[in-house]
Amino acid sequence: MPEITLSPSENPDAFFTTILNVLAHGKTLTSAEAEAAFGIIMDGTLPAERVAAFLMALRVRGEDAGEVLGAVTALRRRMIPVPQVPADTIDVCGTGGDNYGTLNVSTAVAFVLAALGVPVAKHGNRAVSSRAGASDVLQALGVPLLANPTELSRQLNLHKLVFLAAPHHHPAMRHAAPVRKALGIRTLFNLLGPMVNPAGVKHQLIGVFSAEWLNLVVDVLHRLGSERVWAVCGQPEGETQGIDELTLAGPTRVVALENGNTHTLVVQAEMAGLPYAPVSAIRGGDATHNAQALEALLRGADGAYRDTVLLNAACALHVAGRRSILKGLHIDPQAFRECVADVSRVLDNGAALAVLNGLRTSSSGTHAQDMTG
């Protein structure tokens, strides 16, 4: 078994070779070793084939919480943060990678939460599991994606909502992007996006593409100081693949971090008074199609898309600390339905649409492809 005795700062290439040898023996890295290895990748000094070998070795053996913690720490150290963020700001996003190609759920939820007075800093990257990521949809809606951190802070405080394009805040990620694209399969990077929000949010509703990762995501965020997190994975009936949001199509598994403790839940749409609908009922299309559906939703349109957004937004209100839908460690159906009613009102009275129109008038900035959901 090789031992890691080299310093990554003195000889990065030799250090990384030792890291690869450790992984080739099926052993795990400490969080410090993983942080150093990901730091070398993010600094752009390695050839693509060595990065690919590293990512595949982790994937084949299976990544553990310490390695993910190290990767997140390396990325956070290199990101461009957003200043002066309200302490109760929340992020709602998904990992992507579920391949269902749905309409943009978490983006719609962000507008709803902002209309309810909850500050939202939604972070993400290019579309992973849909034909149109949020950046494409927002551009089709006429919403500029700003790059200047000071302007982003101003927009968040003015409109209660800001969209953070990962390329603006994580320039070091460009060194891994070609390898990820060439591999064409899920790697550790699919999990990292929701955990490296540039606004430093402590409240998050995170959709995860597979339930096997729920505990790990919550464990890592807990160790990094998050206060309230729900990691969720929908389990559509008749499907083998999970979906990275709460779903109407079956139960949703939840691992929740609240008051310093972690517990598990199962959420069903009927608990919120919402009807069953298959995933196909919210199948998306290109950016124009998804943008039209999102604006129609904000104008009060009914249907499975609205109900999916209501389900997710009601849970997000709980995660934000604005409402409680739990009694003890279980869902309280009455409180859940009351929360859904609150969310419904801002879709029907134009408040959510007003947030969209407010963002449309924001000063224009650099556009970038952005976000899943």
For residue 104, say whether it is annotated as part of any ligand binding site.
Answer: yes
For residue 49, say whether it is annotated as part of any ligand binding site.
Answer: no
For residue 345, say whether it is annotated as part of any ligand binding site.
Answer: no
For residue 106, say whether it is annotated as part of any ligand binding site.
Answer: yes
For residue 269, say whether it is annotated as part of any ligand binding site.
Answer: no
Asked if 104 contacts 177 with a C-beta cutoff of 8 angstroms, the reply is no
Give me 315's structure tokens. 């849970």
For residue 134, say whether it is annotated as part of any ligand binding site.
Answer: yes
For residue 318, say whether it is annotated as part of any ligand binding site.
Answer: no
For residue 245, say whether it is annotated as part of any ligand binding site.
Answer: yes
φ, ψ of residue 4 in degrees (nearest 5): -95, 100
Asked if 193 contacts 176 with a C-beta cutoff of 8 angstroms, the reply is no
For residue 98, say whether it is annotated as part of any ligand binding site.
Answer: yes
C-alpha 357/C-alpha 184 separation (Å) is: 37
Give me 297's structure tokens. 């939703």
For residue 44, say whether it is annotated as part of any ligand binding site.
Answer: no
For residue 94, say whether it is annotated as part of any ligand binding site.
Answer: yes
Q: Cα 257 to chain center, whole Å?
A: 16
For residue 122, say whether it is annotated as part of any ligand binding site.
Answer: yes
Written in H, E and C, the secondary structure of 292-319 is HHHHHHHCCCCCHHHHHHHHHHHHHHHH
For residue 312, say whether it is annotated as part of any ligand binding site.
Answer: no
For residue 3, say whether it is annotated as part of any ligand binding site.
Answer: no
For residue 107, say whether it is annotated as part of any ligand binding site.
Answer: yes
For residue 157, say whether it is annotated as part of any ligand binding site.
Answer: no
For residue 175, say whether it is annotated as part of any ligand binding site.
Answer: no
What is the torsional sign of CA 120, 373, 252, 211? negative
For residue 180, say whether it is annotated as part of any ligand binding site.
Answer: yes
C-alpha 178/C-alpha 183 separation (Å) is: 9
For residue 338, say whether it is annotated as part of any ligand binding site.
Answer: no
Give binding residues for anthranilate as ranges: 94, 125, 180
The annotated binding site for Mg(2+) is made up of 106, 244-245
Residues that constitute the known binding site for 5-phospho-alpha-D-ribose 1-diphosphate: 94, 97-98, 102, 104-107, 122-130, 134
Annotated binding site: 94, 97-98, 102, 104-107, 122-130, 134, 180, 244-245
